[in-house]
C-alpha cells in the first residue's frame, strides 16, 4: 500500500479509482496466496515463467477471483488479433503516470494470466490486461473495465480460434453488455467497427490498417463493403467508417484537439505507430495527459523479446514475431528496407494453429533475391511455399543453427508463436 502511494504523480482524485482496491474476501485472499506460491515454485523449479500457473491455482480455488481482484481498480482490457502485447505494454507504461499498474506480460493473456498478474500486485489501483480475443467476453464481464481497446480482427489460427466473423459477433455481444466502459476502436478495420458500433461510448482511432481481406462482405448484413480511399461503407446497411477522433499520421498522430504529435517510437513499423496511437487514446481515456503518455510509450523497445537483437558468432539477429497473414504482411514490410538475410521459422503446434494453409496468404514473393533459410518444426511446408514463390532458400530446422549459417552481420529472424517463444527462451539461456 505504502509503496504505491509514492507513485501517484497526479494530485486529486481519479474518476473510478478508490483510494485502495477493495479488501479481498477470505477465500480469494487464500486463493491468491496459494496461487502466488505456485508461481514462485514453478519459477524456482524451472517449470515455467510462472505467468499462468498461479492464476490457474487461484481460479480453481476461487472461480470469482478475476472479478474480486479487479474490484476497486480502474481496468483497461486490450484485445484484437495483432499487437496486443505491444499495445498493452505501451498502455501500461502510460497509465503508470497515474500510479502503480498491474499488467500481464509475455502473452499470458487468458484469465489465469490475468489472475496471476493481479495477485502479484494486489495494491495497484490500475490494471492493464492483454486479453485473448476468445476470452474477451468472460474477462470484460468479470473485470468491469473502464476502457476496452479493440485493435484489429483478421484471420488467425482458423482451426483453433474459428472464423473472424464468429469472433466479431462475440465481441459485439460482449461490448453491448458493458456498462460505463469507453471502447477505443480501430475504425479502419470493418470487423472492429462492427463490434464497437452499438457501444454507448466509443473513441474511434484511424490506424491505417492495411489488411482488408477478411471484410469484403459486411459482418452485419452480408452485403459487400465498398472502399473509397480510406473511407468505407456497407452497401446494404448503415455500417460505415465513423469519423475518427484520433488519427495515425506518418510517424505522428493527430489528437481530438487537432494537435499533431511526433511519435518517434523506438519500435519499427507502421503497425507499431498504430499500436502507439491506440494506446495513447486509451491512456487519455484512463486519465493520462496525451503528451505524457506518448513520452512514456516511446521508451518501449523490447516486448517480451520481440524486436530484440541477439548476438551470436558475429551475427546480429533481430527477432520478430508474426503469427498470421496480416502480421507477416506487416513484418515483411518492416524487413524490406534493408536487404538483410532472413531466417523464417514456422511451427504448427496447437497454439500456432495446426493448419498451415495461411502460409499461402503471406506475400513471400517479396523476399525474392534475398538469402533465406526456412526453419522450424514445419520448415518443409515453408520450403514448399518459398519454392512456388521462387525464393531461393535452404532448410535448417533449428533456428539458432540457421542464424549461425548466415553470413556474418545483420540477420532478420521472423518466427510464429511457439517458434518465437522457444527461440527466445533458448537465446536468453545462451546469453
Partner 1 sequence: MSESTIQIALVLPDLLGTYGDFGNAVVLEKRMAWRGIKAEIVPINYGEPVPDSCDIYVVGGGEDTAQTLAVKHLREHPGLQRAVTKNAVVLGVCAGIQIFGESFTRADNITHPGMGLIDSTSHAGGSRAIGEVLAEPANGLFEGVLTGFENHQGRTVLGPSAQPLAHVKVGTGNDGSVEGAVQGRIVCTYLHGPVLPRNPQLADMLIEWATGTKVAPLDLPAVTAMRAERVRAAS
Positions touching partner 1 (CB under 8 A) are 155, 158-159, 163-165, 213-214, 216-219, 222-224, 354-361, 380-381, 383-390, 395
Please count the other Cβ atoms lying within 10 Å of the Cβ belonging to residue 132: 17
Smallest separation, CB 355 to partner 1 (Å)? 4
* Strand pairing category for 309-312 and 315-321: antiparallel
CB 301 within 8 A of CB 319: no
Of 303 and 386, nearer to partner 1 (C-beta) is 386
Residue with cell 538483410: 340
Smallest separation, CB 70 to partner 1 (Å)? 34
Of 95 and 356, nearer to partner 1 (C-beta) is 356
**What are the beta bridge partners of residue 75?**
127
Can you give 280-346 as a three-state secondary structure string?
HHHHHHHCCCHHHHHHHHCCCCCECCECCEEEECCEEEEEEECCCHHHHHHHHHHCCCCCCCEEEEC
Q: If we measure between CA atoms, which residue out of 312, 337, 307, 292 comes closest to residue 414?
A: 307
Of 231 and 354, nearer to partner 1 (C-beta) is 354
Smallest separation, CB 323 to partner 1 (Å)? 15
Of 10 and 213, nearer to partner 1 (C-beta) is 213
Q: If we measure between CA atoms, which residue out of 130, 21, 27, 38 comes closest to residue 77?
A: 130
Smallest separation, CB 381 to partner 1 (Å)? 6
Q: If we measure between CA atoms, which residue out of 83, 240, 79 comes closest to residue 171?
A: 79
CB 249 within 8 A of CB 206: no
Smallest separation, CB 379 to partner 1 (Å)? 9
Of 25 and 397, nearer to partner 1 (C-beta) is 397
Smallest separation, CB 362 to partner 1 (Å)? 9
Question: For residues 86 and 170, what is the distance between their CA atoms, to the nearest angstrom?
Answer: 23
Of 202 and 342, nearer to partner 1 (C-beta) is 342
Of 39 and 194, nearer to partner 1 (C-beta) is 194
Smallest separation, CB 148 to partner 1 (Å)? 24
Smallest separation, CB 240 to partner 1 (Å)? 18
| Cα end-to-end span (Å), the chain | 36
Of 88 and 324, nearer to partner 1 (C-beta) is 324
Q: In 177-224, which residue ranges form alpha helices assigned H by DSSP?
A: 190-196
Amino acid at each position: 500500500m505504502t509503496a504505491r502511494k509514492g507513485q501517484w504523480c497526479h494530485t486529486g482524485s481519479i474518476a473510478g479509482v478508490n483510494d485502495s482496491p477493495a479488501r479481498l474476501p477470505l477465500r480469494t485472499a487464500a486463493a491468491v496466496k496459494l496461487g502466488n506460491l505456485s508461481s514462485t515454485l514453478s519459477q524456482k523449479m524451472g517449470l515455467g515463467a510462472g505467468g499462468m500457473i498461479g492464476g490457474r491455482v487461484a481460479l480453481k480455488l476461487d472461480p470469482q477471483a478475476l472479478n474480486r481482484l479487479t474490484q476497486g481498480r480502474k481496468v483497461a482490457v486490450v484485445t484484437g488479433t495483432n499487437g496486443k502485447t505491444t499495445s498493452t505494454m505501451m498502455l501500461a507504461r502510460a497509465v503508470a503516470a497515474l500510479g502503480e499498474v498491474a499488467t500481464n506480460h509475455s502473452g499470458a493473456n487468458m484469465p489465469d494470466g490475468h489472475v496471476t498478474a493481479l495477485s502479484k500486485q494486489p495494491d495497484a489501483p490500475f490494471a492493464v490486461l492483454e486479453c485473448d480475443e476468445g476470452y474477451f467476453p468472460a474477462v470484460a464481464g468479470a473485470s468491469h473495465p473502464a476502457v476496452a481497446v479493440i485493435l484489429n480482427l483478421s484471420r488467425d489460427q482458423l482451426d483453433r480460434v474459428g472464423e473472424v466473423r464468429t469472433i466479431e459477433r462475440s465481441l459485439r455481444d460482449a461490448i453491448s453488455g458493458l456498462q460505463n466502459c469507453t471502447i477505443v476502436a480501430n475504425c479502419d478495420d470493418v470487423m472492429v467497427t462492427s463490434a464497437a458500433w452499438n457501444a454507448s461510448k466509443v473513441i474511434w482511432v484511424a490506424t491505417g490498417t492495411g489488411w482488408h481481406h477478411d471484410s469484403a462482405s459486411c459482418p452485419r448484413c452480408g452485403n459487400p463493403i465498398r472502399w473509397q480511399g480510406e473511407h468505407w461503407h456497407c452497401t446494404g446497411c448503415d455500417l460505415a467508417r465513423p469519423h475518427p477522433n484520433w488519427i495515425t499520421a506518418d510517424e505522428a498522430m493527430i489528437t481530438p484537439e487537432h494537435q499533431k504529435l511526433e511519435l518517434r517510437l523506438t519500435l519499427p513499423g507502421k503497425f507499431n505507430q498504430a499500436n502507439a496511437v491506440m494506446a495513447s487514446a486509451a491512456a487519455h481515456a484512463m486519465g493520462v495527459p496525451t503528451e505524457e503518455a506518448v513520452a512514456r510509450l516511446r521508451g518501449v523497445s523490447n516486448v517480451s523479446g520481440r524486436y530484440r537483437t541477439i548476438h551470436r558468432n558475429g551475427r546480429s539477429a533481430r527477432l520478430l514475431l508474426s503469427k498470421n497473414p496480416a502480421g507477416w504482411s506487416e513484418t515483411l514490410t518492416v524487413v524490406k528496407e534493408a536487404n538483410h538475410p532472413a531466417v523464417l521459422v514456422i511451427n504448427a503446434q496447437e497454439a500456432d494453429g495446426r493448419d498451415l494453409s495461411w502460409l499461402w496468404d503471406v506475400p513471400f514473393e517479396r523476399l525474392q533475391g534475398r538469402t533465406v533459410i526456412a526453419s522450424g518444426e514445419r520448415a518443409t511446408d515453408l520450403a514448399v511455399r518459398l519454392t512456388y514463390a521462387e525464393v531461393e532458400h535452404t532448410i535448417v530446422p533449428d533456428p539458432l543453427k540457421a542464424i549461425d549459417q548466415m553470413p556474418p552481420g545483420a540477420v532478420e529472424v521472423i518466427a510464429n508463436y511457439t517458434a518465437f517463444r522457444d527461440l527466445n527462451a533458448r537465446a536468453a539461456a545462451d546469453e
